[in-house]
Amino acid sequence: MLYETAELGPVVGTRAPDFALMDHRRQLYTLDDLTGEAGVVLGFIGNLWLPTSVRRILWLQRHVTKFALMGTPVALLVRDFPHILNGFHSSSPLPVPFPLLADSDGQIHRTYAMDRNPGMLLIDRYRVVRQKWMLPDDRVWPRMQELVQAIQVVQS
């Protein structure tokens, strides 16, 4: 993949570690809670209110239905506190139809080796990392076609 690098992020083909993180309502989510029939797409970003983070959330808001129809829900792990996520939910002009999860101390970002750059993982229903994208700040997410193709490979 264009934005995949072997030396950054988790190793493709390894089992994704479980986690328990809270959303803006302080509801706890685990990896199993998030995983659909074809897996889950996990996004990792830093501070929620950075312009690049807001653009990434808006992009996911536009495309989340397509992922859901493919049996692959989306969740976004954010380096912020639940009350910050709640403020974002309250002020967003559009509903946020996927979990924003508070990784305030960055522990899960570090566990997944996603603490250096924003990125996205495709994890299959057996909790195996199937694809990763590490992104420069000027790139919102991978191209939709890349994501769809990766999900289709996981489904086959």
The rounded distance, in Å, linking the Cα atoms of 49 and 67 is 24
Q: Write down all domains in the chain, each with its CATH number in brackets.
A: 20-155 (3.40.30.10)
Q: Please spell the DSSP secondary structure of 99-134, one letter per residue.
A: -EEE-TT-HHHHHTT-SSS-EEEEE-TTSBEEEEEE
CB distance 19 to 53 below 8 Å: no
pLDDT digits (tens, 9 = 90+) for 17-30: 999 999 999 999 99
Q: Please spell the DSSP secondary structure of 15-66, one letter per residue.
A: BPPP-EEE-TT--EEEHHHH-BTTBEEEEEES-TTSHHHHHHHHHHHHHHHH
What's the token pair of residue 151? Answer: 């999900």
pTM of the model: 0.91
pLDDT digits (tens, 9 = 90+) for 60-87: 999 999 999 999 999 999 999 999 999 9
- Between helix 144-155 and helix 51-69 the angle, nearest 10°, is 40
pLDDT digits (tens, 9 = 90+) for 97-155: 999 999 999 999 999 999 888 999 999 999 999 999 988 877 889 888 999 999 999 88
Q: Is the pLDDT of residue 35 over 60?
A: yes
CB distance 85 to 100 below 8 Å: yes
What's the token pair of residue 14? Answer: 């390894």
In this structure, how many other beta carbons lie within 10 angstroms of the beta carbon of residue 66? Answer: 14
Burial of 90 (0-12, 13-18, 19+ CB in 10 A): exposed
What's the token pair of residue 94? Answer: 């559009």
